[in-house]
Amino acid sequence: AAAAKPLPAYVGWKNASDVIVHSSTTLETKRSAFGTSGITPSNQLYLRNNLPAPDATIVADRDAWEVTVAGVKSPRKLTVRELKTLGLETVTMVLQCSGNGRGFFPSKPSGTPWTVGAAGCVVWSGVPVRAVVESLGGVSAGMRFMTGTGGEKLPEGIDPKSIMVERSVPAAAMQDALLAWEMNGEPIPLAHGGPLRLIVPGYQGVNNIKYIKQLAFTAQESDAKIMSHGYRMSPPGGKGDPSQPSVQEMSVKSWINSPLPESGTLAAGGTVQIQGVAFGGLHAVKGVEVSIDGGKTWQKARFIGPDMGKYAWRQFVLQARLPAGTYTLASRATDTAGNVQPETRGENQSGYNNTSWADHAVKVTVA
Q: How far is the CB of 111 from ligand MSS (least distance, A)?
A: 9
Taking residues 240 to 279 in sequence order and writing x for each that binds ligand MSS by CB under 6 A, - otherwise, the string is ----------------------------------------
Give the residue with the Cβ less far from ligand MSS, 233 or 290: 233
DSSP H or E segment with residue 86:
helix 80-86
**Which listed residue (42, 92, 98, 147) binds ligand MSS by CB under 6 A?**
98
Phi, psi (degrees; rounded to nearest 5) at 229? -120, -25
Give the residue with the Cβ less far from ligand MSS, 247 or 284: 247
Q: How far is the CB of 46 from ligand MSS (least distance, A)?
A: 5
How far is the C-alpha of 195 from the C-alpha of 78, rounded, in Å? 13
**Cα torsion angle, 136, 138, 141, 145, sign:** positive
Give the residue with the Cβ less far from ligand MSS, 196 or 301: 196
Give the residue with the Cβ less far from ligand MSS, 213 or 332: 213
* CB half-sphere exposure, 337, CA atoms < 13 A: 11
Give the residue with the Cβ less far from ligand MSS, 230 or 295: 230
Give the residue with the Cβ less far from ligand MSS, 150 or 195: 150
**Which listed residue (19, 58, 67, 95) binds ligand MSS by CB under 6 A?**
95
Q: How far is the CB of 17 from ligand MSS (least distance, A)?
A: 19
Q: How far is the CB of 93 from ligand MSS (least distance, A)?
A: 11
With left for phi above 0 and alpha for psi between -120 and 50, is residue 351 left, alpha or beta? left
Binding residues for ligand MSS restricted to 43-62, rule: CB under 6 A: 45-51
Give the residue with the Cβ less far from ligand MSS, 7 or 320: 7
As a whole number of Å, the end-to-end CA separation of the chain is 27
Binding residues for ligand MSS restricted to 197-226, rule: CB under 6 A: 204-206, 208-211
How far is the C-alpha of 66 from the C-alpha of 57, rounded, in Å? 14
Q: How far is the CB of 292 from ligand MSS (least distance, A)?
A: 32
The per-residue DSSP string of 133-148 comes to HHHTT-BPTT--EEEE
Give the residue with the Cβ less far from ligand MSS, 97 or 277: 97
Size of the site for ligand MSS (CB under 6 A): 23
How far is the C-alpha of 8 from the C-alpha of 17, rounded, in Å? 14
Give the residue with the Cβ less far from ligand MSS, 118 or 285: 118
Binding residues for ligand MSS restricted to 150-169, rule: CB under 6 A: 150, 152, 165
How far is the C-alpha of 247 from the C-alpha of 310, rounded, in Å? 20
How far is the C-alpha of 47 from the C-alpha of 13, rounded, in Å? 13
On whether the CB atoms of residues 365 and 267 are closer than 8 A, the answer is no
Within 10 Å of residue 175's Cβ, how many Cβ atoms?
10
Q: How far is the CB of 212 from ligand MSS (least distance, A)?
A: 7
CA nearest neighbour of 214 among 134, 132, 147, 140: 147
Q: How far is the CB of 189 from ligand MSS (least distance, A)?
A: 9
Give the residue with the Cβ less far from ligand MSS, 46 or 327: 46
How far is the C-alpha of 169 from the C-alpha of 207, rounded, in Å? 7
Q: How far is the CB of 176 from ligand MSS (least distance, A)?
A: 17
Instruction: Using the rule CB under 6 A, give the single segment among 95-103, 129-137, 260-268, 343-351 that binds ligand MSS.
Output: 95-103
Q: Which residue is nearest to ligand MSS (CB)?
A: 150
CA-angle at 210, arms to 69 and 72, nearest 5°: 15
Cis status, amide bond into 109, omega within 30 of 0: no
Cis status, amide bond into 195, omega within 30 of 0: yes
How far is the C-alpha of 153 from the C-alpha of 297, rounded, in Å? 53
Q: How far is the CB of 319 from ligand MSS (least distance, A)?
A: 32
List residues binding ligand MSS (CB under 6 A): 45-51, 95, 97-99, 150, 152, 165, 192-193, 204-206, 208-211
